Amino acid sequence: MSLEEEKIKFEKLADEMQDSINKNFVESLIKNNTIEFDYDNIKYHVRLPTFKEKQEVAKKRVEKYFALLKEKDSEGNYIYKLDVDLRKLYKERGMDIDIIDNDFTALESKRRLLQEKLGQALKDNKSDMELKAYKDEIETIEKSQRELTVKKAVLLEFSLENQLLIYLYTYVTFLTTEKLVEDKWVRVWPTYDLFEQEDEMLINRATGHISLLLATESL
């Protein structure tokens, strides 16, 4: 894949990510810390995990981390590389993820400064044209940040840490997805084995909503 094709791919993913946030986060979130959605004529919701469920997830995190750390292929090589090792490997091949992090941080500083200026301009009743200029520049910076975020995510997709995070979000989806049965919300899957046999489309939708719901939470 050429650099231009990669750029187009990253931009498309970033735009899709922002569309998802706009539609789902703003319109569907939040009532009582849940996101509701319909699938195959059934009403579902995902909710924030309880304290007890968070404890369960914490135990699963430890178990999964060491399982991934020890996993080897048929030739005895470790399958998953740590984030720090992947960064070194990419740097040897001319791709510096630390630069991506630095670029994102620099953009964030500019974005916050512009937001402060926009806030002051609003207080001072500046013209619509001046306000729009600030908003447009902020939007441009946020788009660049999304592109950097997606690019970094693609590069580190197979790091041990990322695989662990995917598992944790999946496990939280299993714990907190409920469906409406006779006006009562009940857990969809009594066991993780049944969850793993579920329709992939339903799991993907539920996990996508969980990722939005947990955006300001820590597991």
Answer whether 24's CB lies under 8 Å from 35's CB.
Answer: yes
Helix, strand or coil for residue 21? helix
Q: Over 80: is that where the pLDDT of 198 sits? A: yes
pLDDT value at 192 more than 60: yes
Note the pLDDT of residue 211: 87
- What mean pLDDT, rounded, does the chain reach? 88
For residue 1, pLDDT beyond 70: no
pLDDT tops 50 at residue 184: yes
Q: Looking at the predicted structure, is the pLDDT value of residue 14 above 60?
A: no
Q: Within a 10 A sphere around the Cβ of 47, how many other Cβ atoms?
A: 20
Instruction: Please give the Cα distance from 177 to 208 (Å, whole number).
Output: 12
pLDDT, tens only, 122-167: 999 999 999 999 999 999 999 999 999 999 999 999 999 999 999 9
Spell out the residues 6+ positions from residue 53 whose beta carbon is closer than 8 angstroms to its own. Answer: 172, 175, 176
Residue pLDDT, tens place only, 120-133: 999 999 999 999 99
Instruction: Please state the pTM of the whole predicted model.
Output: 0.74
Band of the pLDDT at 216, cuts 50, 70, 90?
low
pLDDT attached to residue 212: 82
The pLDDT, as a whole number, for residue 122 is 93
Taking residues 82-87, report their average pLDDT.
Answer: 96
Is residue 6 pLDDT above 60, yes or no?
no
CA distance 156 to 97: 9
Residue 33's pLDDT is what?
84
The per-residue pLDDT for 81 is 95
Q: How confident is the model at residue 5 (pLDDT cuts 50, 70, 90)?
A: low
How far apart are alpha carbons 180 and 203 in whole angstroms? Answer: 16
The yes-or-no verdict on residue 18 having pLDDT over 90 is no
* Arithmetic mean of pLDDT, 207-214: 87
Mean pLDDT value of segment 104-126 = 94
